[in-house]
Chains A and B, each alone.
Chain A
Amino acid sequence: MSSKTDVLTKGAILTGSRGRGIPDSDYESSNILNEVVSLVKDNAASYMMYFALIVIMLVFQVWTEGKFFTAQNISNLFNQAAYVAVLAIGMTIILILRHIDLSCGYVAGLSGAVAAILMEKMGMNVWMSMFIVLAMGLAIGLYQGALVTKIGIPAFITTLAGMFIFRGLLTRSLAGTGTIIVTDPTFKAMCQGFIPDFPNNNTGVHIVTMIIAVIAVVIFNAFKIRSRMNREKYGFPVASLPIFIAGKVVVSAVILFAAWMLAINKGIPISACIVAVILGAYAFMLSKTKLGRHIYGIGGNDQAAELSGVDVKKVTMFAFCSMSVLAAIAGFLYTSRLSSATPTAGLAFEMDAIASSYIGGTAVSGGVGKVTNAIIGTFVIMSLTNGMNLMSIDISYQYIVKGIIFIIAVAFDVKSKKK
Chain B
Amino acid sequence: MNEDYILEMRNITKEFPSVKALDNVNFKVKRGEIHCLVGENGAGKSTLMKVLSGVWKYGTYTGDIVYNGQVQQFRSIADSEAKGIAIIYQELALFPELSVYENIFLGHEIMNGHAIDWNETIVKSKEYLDKVRLSVDPSAKVKTLNTGKQQLVEIAKALSKNCNLLIFDEPTSSLNEDDSQNLLNIMRELKAQGITCIMISHKLREVTAIADTITVLRDGSTICSLDAKTDDISESNIIKNMVGRTIDDIYPKRLEKNISDVIFEVRNLSAEDRATGRQILKNVSFNVHKGEIIGLQGLMGAGRTECALAVFGNPYKYKITSGEVFMNGEKVNFKNPKQAIKNGLAYVSEDRKGNGLVLIQDVKYNTTISNLDELIRFVSIDGNKEIGTAEGYKKEMNIKTPTVATKINTLSGGNQQKVQISKWLFSHPKVLILDEPTRGIDVGAKYEIYTIMNSLVKQGMSIIMISSELPEVLGMSDRLYVMSEGQITGELPIEEATEEKVMAMAINA
Q: Do residues B356 and A307 form an inter-chain contact, with CB atoms below 8 A? A: yes
Query: Is B337 in contact with A307, judged by CB distance below 8 angstroms?
Result: yes
Q: Which of B405-455 contact A (CB under 8 A)?
A: 405, 423, 427
Is B392 interfacial (CB-CB < 8 Å)?
no
Q: Which residues of A contact B493 (CB under 8 A)?
A: none
| B373 at the A interface (CB under 8 A) | yes
Chain B nearest CB from A242 CB (Å) reads: 22
Q: Is the CB of B354 within 8 A of A293?
A: no
Tell me the count of chain B residues lying within 8 A, CB to CB, of chain A. 36
Could you tell me the distance between the alpha carbons of A310 and B341 in the complex, rounded to whole angstroms? 10
**Minimum distance in angstroms from A238 CB to a CB of chain B:** 10
Does A367 have its Cβ within 8 Å of any Cβ on chain B?
yes
* Contact pick for B336, options A234, A235, A300, A311, CB 8 Å: A311
Q: Is the CB of A309 within 8 A of B370?
A: yes
Binds B, one of A24-32, A208-216, A284-292: A284-292
Question: Does B237 interact with chain A (Cβ within 8 Å)?
Answer: no
B315 touches A (CB below 8 Å): yes
Question: Which residue on B lies nearest to A289, using beta carbons?
Answer: B380
Pick the most buried of B312, B354, B369, B423: most chain A CB atoms within 10 A of its CB.
B369
| A305 sits at the interface (CB 8 A) | yes
Give the chain A neighbours of B509 by CB distance below 8 A: none
Is B359's CB under 8 angstroms from A301's CB? yes
How far does the alpha carbon of A26 sit from the alpha carbon of B278 in the complex, in Å?
A: 72
The answer to the question of A236 belonging to the interface, with a C-beta cut-off of 8 Å to chain B, is: yes
Contacting pair B391 A301 (CB below 8 A): no
Whether B403 and A308, one on each chain, are in contact in the complex, defined by CB atoms closer than 8 angstroms, is no
The CB with the most chain A CB atoms within 10 A, among B315, B349, B372, is that of B372
Asked if B376 CB lies within 8 Å of chain A CBs, one says yes
- Which listed residue (A288, A289, A293, A301) contacts B357, Cβ 8 A? A301
Give every chain A residue within 8 A of B403 (Cβ-Cβ).
Answer: 234-237
Task: Tell me, rounded to whole Å, the shortest Cβ–Cβ distance linking A175 to chain B.
Answer: 44
Note all chain B residues with C-beta closer than 8 A to A308.
337, 341, 369-370, 423
- Decide: A300 and B361 in contact? CB cutoff 8 A: yes
Query: Contacts A234-B403, A237-B403, A288-B380: A309 and B358 contacting too (C-beta < 8 A)?
Result: no
Residue-wise interface mask of A (284-325) relative to B, using a CB-CB cutoff of 8 A (1 in contact, 0 not): 100011100100110011011111111100000000000000
Quote the shortest CB–CB distance from B310 to chain A (angstroms): 13
Q: How far is the CA of A296 from the CA of B340 in the complex (A)?
A: 22
Given A293-B365, A293-B372, A308-B337, verify A234-B391 contact (CB < 8 Å): yes
Query: Which residues on the B side are within 8 Å of A237 (C-beta)?
Result: 403, 405
Contact check, A290 vs B338: say whether CB atoms are below 8 A apart.
Answer: no
A307–B342 Cα gap in the complex (Å)? 12
Q: Verify B379–A289 contact, CB threshold 8 A.
A: yes
Shortest Cβ gap from A73 to chain B (Å): 38
**A368 CB within 8 Å of chain B:** yes
Q: Say yes or no: is B194 at the interface (Cβ < 8 Å to chain A).
A: no
A230, CB-defined interface residue at 8 Å? yes
Contact between B360 and A300 (Cβ–Cβ < 8 Å)?
yes
Q: What is the minimal beta-carbon distance from B430 to any residue of chain A, in angstroms?
A: 15
- Contacts A230-B384, A293-B365 given; does A310 touch B358 at CB 8 Å: no
Residues in chain A near residue B338, CB distance under 8 A: 309-311
Q: Is there an interface contact between B381 and A293, defined as CB atoms closer than 8 Å?
A: yes
What separation, in Å, do the CA atoms of A367 and B361 have in the docked complex?
A: 9
A305 near B354 (CB under 8 angstroms)? no
Q: Tell me the minimal C-beta distance from B56 to chain A in angstroms.
A: 24
Contacts of B2 in A (CB 8 A): none
B-chain residues with CB within 8 Å of residue A301 when the two chains form the complex: 355, 357-360
**Chain B proximity of A149: nearest CB distance (Å):** 13
Complex: chain B residue closest to A305, CB-CB? B358
Q: Min CB distance, B308 to chain A, in Å?
A: 11
Q: Closest A residue to B420 by CB, please name it.
A: A304
B347 touches A307 (CB 8 A): yes
| Complexed CA–CA distance, A327 and B379 (Å) | 26
Given contacts A234-B391, A310-B338, contact A303 B354 (CB under 8 A): yes
Give the distance in Å from the alpha carbon of A293 to the alpha carbon of B341 in the complex: 17
Give the Cβ gap from B161 to chain A, nearest Cβ, in Å: 36
A297: chain B residues at CB < 8 Å are: 358, 361, 365, 369
Complex alpha-carbon distance, A191 and B341, angstroms = 48
| Residue ID in chain B nearest A301 by CB atoms | B358
Instruction: Assess the B356–A304 pair: CB atoms within 8 A.
Output: yes
User: Which of B360, B381, B391, B427 lies in contact with A288, CB distance below 8 A?
Assistant: B381
Chain A residues closer than 8 Å to B340, beta-carbon distance? 309
- In the complex, B244 has a CB within 8 A of chain A: no
**Residues 333 to 348 of chain B near chain A (Cβ within 8 Å):** 336-338, 340-342, 347
Contact B357 A304 (CB under 8 A): yes
Which residues of chain A are within 8 angstroms of B243 by Cβ–Cβ distance? none
| A97 CB to nearest chain B CB (Å) | 13
A288 to B423, CA, bound (A): 19
User: Binary interface profile of B, 364-391, with partner A (CB < 8 Å = 1, else 0)?
Assistant: 0100011011001001110110010001
Give min CB distance, B388 to chain A, whole Å.
9
- Closest residue to A235 on the B side, CB-wise? B403
Q: Smallest CB-CB separation from B361: which chain A residue?
A: A300
A359-381 to B contact mask, C-beta < 8 Å, 1/0? 00000000110000000000000
Q: Are A304 and B358 in contact (CB under 8 A)?
A: yes
Residues of A within 8 A of B405 (CB): 231, 234, 236-237
**Do the beta carbons of A234 and B404 come within 8 Å of each other?**
yes
- Cα separation A184 to B395 with both chains bound (whole Å): 63
- A311 nearest CB neighbor, chain B only: B338
* Contact in complex: B387, A304 (CB < 8 Å): no
CB-defined contacts of A289 to chain B, threshold 8 Å:
379-381
Is the beta-carbon distance between B380 and A284 smaller than 8 angstroms? yes
- Against A, the Cβ 8 Å flags (1 = close, 0 = not) of B320-337 are 000000000000000011
A117 to B427, CA, bound (A): 52
Residue of A300, A307, A309 with most chain B CB atoms under a 10 A cut-off: A307
Residues of A close to B379: CB separation below 8 A: 289
Alpha-carbon gap, A296 to B407, bound state (A):
14
Residues of B within 8 A of A307 (CB): 312, 315, 337, 347, 349, 355-356
Chain A residues near B315 (CB-CB < 8 A): 303, 306-307
Chain A, Cβ-Cβ closest to B358: A300
Q: List 14 A-B contacts (CB under 8 A).
A: A237-B405, A289-B381, A293-B365, A300-B361, A301-B355, A304-B355, A304-B358, A306-B355, A307-B312, A307-B347, A309-B341, A310-B369, A311-B338, A367-B360
Q: Give me 4 other A-B pairs in contact (C-beta within 8 A), A307-B355, A309-B341 excluded.
A: A289-B380, A300-B359, A307-B312, A310-B369
> Which 10 residue pairs are nearest across A and B when measured between Cβ atoms?
A303-B355, A288-B380, A300-B358, A309-B338, A309-B341, A308-B370, A290-B372, A236-B405, A301-B358, A300-B360
